[in-house]
Every structure is written in C-alpha cells, then in structure tokens.
Structure 1
Amino acid sequence: MEPLVIKLGGVLLDNEEALERLFTALQEYRQTHKRQLVIVHGGGCLVDELMQKLQLPVVKEQGLRVTPVDQIGIITGALAGIANKTLLSWATKYQLTSVGLYLGDGNVVTVSQLSEELGYVGKVMPGDAKLLRILLDAGYIPIISSIGVTDKGELMNVNADQAATAIAQTLGADLVLLSDVSGILDGKGQKIPDMTAQKAEQLIVQGIITDGMIVKVNAALDAAKTLGRPVDIASWRHADQLTALFNGVPVGTRILA
C-alpha cells in the first residue's frame, strides 16, 4: 500500500481521552500492519488559548488565521513546540518510534507568502520526498507541524489541511483528515458518505459548509484531484473505526477525485 498521511485537527491536541484513543489505535495498527504513516498537525486550539492568555487578538479570514509579524513567533512556539512535542511524547508513551519535524525540514514542501493581508500565512506546494522516504524506510513515523519557511527564511503559519495535502502530493500518499466531526454533515446533521466538487459547491452556497470546513473540503477536493484518488474526512472519536480507516475503508465522508 501507498504511505498514509494522517492530518490531526480539531480539539484533539487539547483532549487526553482523544489522544489516548488515537494512539491506542495507532499502536494496534503498527503491531499488525506495515503501512508507512506520516502525521501532520496544526493546533489552533492551543494557539487560541495562548493568544487569550497574552491578550492578543485572534482574527480569521475564511477559516485562515491572520498572522501579523508580532504573532508568528508565538504561533511557531505553539505549533512546532508545544503541539509537536506533545504528540511526540504520546508516541513515546505508546512505543511508536517517531521523529518531530516542521515543513522546512528537508524541503519536504515549498512555502511562499499567501497574501499581504493575511500576514505570515503560507501557501504550500509539494517538495522533496527524500527525507521522508529515509525516515519511513527506517521505520519512523514523522510527526510534522504546520509551520513552514519561505526561500527567504521567513517563518510562515500554514493551514494544516493544506500542509497535509502537499505532503501527500510529495509522497504520492493517501490522505485522511481527522477532525472533531464524523465527516461532512448535511443540513439535518446527517453524515454525507461521499462528496464531489459540484455537491460541495452547492452546500457552500447554501451555507451548510462554512468557515474552517470550507478550507478543509477545498483542501480535500484539491488533494483528491491532484492525487487522482479519494481523500477521507473522518472523526478521531471512534477508535474502533480507525484501524479500518487506516486500511483505506471509508468511515466518514469520502471526497471523490
């Protein structure tokens, strides 16, 4: 099987029970399967908490965090520091051999500034798979934060869904976006089993898909189109379903290419 990129999102990083479920599932999966895994994470909830403590404003535009120059260092510390090392500590607890990275390591992706208005927010493109291949072939699980760097050496805050998409493109890997919800929900709160670009567009116009979910769906549609294969959006809440998900069985919403 191709490698699998697992993007962790939502409040997972701030929820011990959720981390326990996830890492139990990862441990069980690694004991019985040889599929190579890469974890990509953001940590918006940690950043929001930190901003609140520091009494700094949190501004988002269409689900993307506006990142002024006086905040990029704080956000880097939260994502590449606290969030990344928290996940590495859980991996250690569950005997999973892992290594912590950020998007600039080994040029695994390339990052440029998305727009002046958003500040230090990066646009991400596929990069060089060499470092990840070395680590995966040696049995490591790379755990990668969504902080990147431009060719001018400027740190950038990258949307984690988009970062995971670019890494999947770099590796030619499958992609799963794990979030708080069991998939994309319709107007009645029911899970939609599969999603096309046309259906997504309709739901955005109707106001059913909003804010951060628009970014998530667009990232998944983009990845599915680029990779030429489906991308899954699913929940980390159901540990019993995660092994099936890691094996390519859809348990949430499957985004079709």
Structure 2
Amino acid sequence: MKYLVIKCGGSVFEALPTAFYENIVKLHQSGEWYPVIVHGGGPLINSLLEKLGIKTHFVNGLRVTTDEMLDVVEMVLSGSVNKKVVKYLTQAEGKAFGMSGVDGGLIKAKQLDPKLGYVGEVTSVEASFITNLCQQGYIPVISPIAIDEQGQRYNINGDIAASAIAKVLEAKLCLISDIPGIMVQHEDDTVVLRKVSKTEVEQLIADEVITGGMIPKVQAAIDGLVHKVPEVAILNGLDSESLLDFCAGKEVGTKLVLEKEASHA
C-alpha cells in the first residue's frame, strides 16, 4: 500500500463532484493506496470574516492572521469544512476520520514571519497518528491548523501542510485545484504546462505568471520533491477522473519535477 496525500483547495471545495469522493474511496478500497486528505477553506473563511466585519489581506498568497482571525479560521477549517469532507466520504461509502493538526500535536509549528501574525511554518508531523488510522481502514481528513509546545495555534497554508505530511509519509502528492494545472500564454492560446521544473517555477514566479495562491502551492510542491516526495501534480478536481488517471500513471494536470526533463507539451 502506498500513501497518497490529496490536498483539496478551498477554491474548489464547494464545486467538487460526488464522483471525486467516490474515486477516493475506490482508490482506498483497491488495496493499493492509503489516501490522506488535507483541505483548505479560503473562500468560506473570507465569507465569515466579511460577515463579522474583520478585514483580511494576503502577502504572497498567505493570509495575515491575527488572534481574532485565528478563531474564525479554526472554526471554519476544523469545524465546518473538515466535517463536510468526512460526510461526503461517508456518503461515498468510505470510512473517514476528521482531525485537526492541533489534535494530539499532529502538526507542530513555529511562527513563519511576525509580519504574517499567527501563520505557521511546520516543524514536525506525528506520522504515527496518520499511519495508524490508515491501517485501521480510515481515510484521515486533516485541517491545517497547527500548535507549538506552548499551546499557541497557527494557521498553516493547506498546500504547505499537505507537502509536510507527504514528506513524512514519502507519499505521492496531489494538489487539487479548479484549473487544469499551471497555465501560461503561448502565442494566441493559453496552454497547460504538463511538466515543469523547479527552475522554471522560480522564473514563472519572478515573471509574475504564477501569482497569489498559486505561489505557496508550487513552492510547497517543489519543497516536497526536494524532501523525497516521489511525485507531485496539480490536478483539476472538477474533472472527477483526474485522480484515478494520476494514480494510473497517465499524463494529467501539471507534474512538477526538480530539474529533469521538463517540457511544455
């Protein structure tokens, strides 16, 4: 059995088809894969913050997080979104177990940058919690809130949390989005980069082709590859078959590689 970390972005969460969850359950029941889900919830957090009159802003795709805002982030991620994902997997006849990175000290973190407030950098992941759940037949569903030794909570970008978990499990990593992959302008058309290297990613960020929330996504992907994650791809979750195609070794979405044969085909 191989571990497969699936990160569902907040932007795509509400639009994911039922078949997406059914295919995760199929992979789990195949006897080949242990799926582990890490989820975001950005748009839902934005909506609740707006209703509460709390202003929010981002730096390089990361939400500047105050203590007041952290309560809202945790409420949405660990409460509403986490339990919805568990519900959808249960409806697809899977066994899911929802938890936060705070639970049992699953994800430990430290402050990333004082200018970002309570945004964390992952320092460790307690892999045994995840592996034990998988071996008992559950699909872990993880909310990216972390904690430090003093009990301070941190908001972790979902892509970064997923990459950190994939690293300790040496798992393949799928970053699920609402677009087919990294897209660039080529002559008169917008094309998907089927394979892109670390150097090319850095250049695309410098050229401001990759912006906003895609920046931490690709940086997390490359960091995972550097630390023994065997394969990383950005997939379109609205195409319900993309996950099955990826696991079958087909060319789908954008595959990120270190420096080897990257092409724009």
Q: TM-score category by the smaller chain?
A: over 0.9
- 1:124 is aligned, of 108, 119, 122, to 122
CA distance in 1, matches of 2:121, 2:97: 24
**Number of the residue aligned with 1:8:** 8
**Number of the residue aligned with 2:242:** 241
- Return closer, same or farther for 1:246/1:125 CA change in 2, 3 Å cut-off: farther
> Alignment partner of 1:198: what SS?
helix
**Is the 2:225–2:257 Cα contact (8 Å) retained in structure 1?**
yes
Give the fraction of aligned pairs with identical amino acids, expressed as a percent: 34
Q: Which runs of 5+ in 1 are unaligned?
A: none
Q: CA deviation at 1:228?
A: 5.2
- Return closer, same or farther for 1:228/1:243 CA change in 2, 3 Å cut-off: closer
Q: 2:66 aligned with 1:65, yes or no?
A: no
Q: Which amino acid in structure 2 is aligned with residue 74 of structure 1? A: V
CA distance in 2, matches of 1:230, 1:2: 12
- 1:104 is aligned, of 102, 105, 117, to 102
**Number of the residue aligned with 2:261:** none
**Number of the residue aligned with 1:208:** 209
CA distance in 1, matches of 2:131, 2:72: 31
Which stretch of structure 1 is more off in the superposition, 44-53 or 246-255?
Answer: 246-255
CA distance in 2, matches of 1:57, 1:211: 18
Residues 97-140 of structure 1 deviation map (CA, whole Å, 9 limit, x = unaligned): 01001113343332111121111111113322111111111111
Q: CA deviation at 1:49?
A: 0.9
Q: 2:151 aligned with 1:150, yes or no?
A: no
**Is the 1:172–1:227 Cα contact (8 Å) retained in structure 2?**
yes
TM-score, normalised to structure 1's length? 0.94
**Is the 2:118–2:154 Cα contact (8 Å) retained in structure 1?**
yes
Q: Which amino acid in structure 2 is aligned with residue 109 of structure 1? A: I
Q: Which runs of 5+ in 2 are unaligned?
A: 259-265
Q: CA deviation at 1:93?
A: 1.0
CA distance in 2, matches of 1:171, 1:57: 37
Q: Which has the higher strand share?
A: 2
Q: Which amino acid in structure 2 is aligned with residue 206 of structure 1? A: D
**Is the 2:167–2:228 Cα contact (8 Å) retained in structure 1?**
yes
**Number of the residue aligned with 1:184:** 182
> Alignment partner of 2:184: what SS?
coil
CA distance in 2, matches of 1:67, 1:173: 29
Q: Which amino acid in structure 1 is aligned with residue 83 of structure 2? A: K
**Is the 2:3–2:36 Cα contact (8 Å) retained in structure 1?**
yes
CA distance in 2, matches of 1:225, 1:143: 25
- 1:137 is aligned, of 135, 138, 144, to 135
Q: CA deviation at 1:22?
A: 1.3
> Alignment partner of 2:192: what SS?
coil
- Return closer, same or farther for 1:124/1:248 CA change in 2, 3 Å cut-off: farther
Q: 2:194 aligned with 1:196, yes or no?
A: no
Residues 234-257 of structure 1 deviation map (CA, whole Å, 9 limit, x = unaligned): 110111232122344341111113
**Is the 1:108–1:167 Cα contact (8 Å) retained in structure 2?**
no
TM-score, normalised to structure 2's length? 0.91
**Is the 1:106–1:130 Cα contact (8 Å) retained in structure 2?**
no
**Number of the residue aligned with 1:163:** 161
**Number of the residue aligned with 1:227:** 228
